[in-house]
Amino acid sequence: MILIIDHRDSFTRNLEHLLAEFGKVEVIDRLKAREKCRDAQMLVLSPGPGRPTDYPETIKLYQEWRGEKPILGICLGFQLMLQAEGAKIIRQEQVLHGVETEIETTCKSITYEGIEPPIKVGRYHSLQACADSPKNLPNSIRITAIDRIRNVPLSFEDCDRKLFGLQYHPESFLTNHGYAIAANVVRACLGSG
């Protein structure tokens, strides 16, 4: 079962519908997630408003389960995971809410396996990982895509611990390969998809 830990975001149900293509999905509020995490095969940290520091319960869940269960973070979830690993999250100069941008992959990765460029993604965020954050991350985390214009990290993976993060929304109609990206991550996490 894929467990989506919800931060009360309007995109959570869209994300649920996308991930339901790959198996059973349950959505639970972050404040009620502790017990349910034990039963999950994979955790998904949903998008949400605010900063990672607004969600100490989710940070604690992430720290407890990273390396124990596969985890995918999307938008806020991406930022929360990177911050917990040593990155700095800052307000970006340009707010991107409902904006389609092209990403550049930075290395061969599971996330983008078999996907031909151009890869366009739907972005809905006012915060970002600081461009020099990768130097503060564990060596096992690789930044797999960036926004070349703004030099912003947009995805990462840690294959050793099965940690994946997407700053953008794969469930958005603005993301042209969202299904394939989600399928790649679920396959890497659960061996299916």
- Residues involved in catalysis: 75, 169, 171
Taking the C-alpha atoms of residue 57 and residue 142, their distance in angstroms, rounded to an integer, is 26
Neighbours of 58 (CB within 10 A): 26
Is omega for the bond preceding 117 within 30 degrees of 0, making it cis? Answer: no
Phi-psi region of 25 (alpha: psi -120 to 50; beta: other; left: phi over 0): beta
Please state the φ and ψ torsions of residue 143, each to the nearest 5 degrees: -75, 125
**Spatial contact of 95 and 130, defined as CB atoms under 8 Å apart:** no
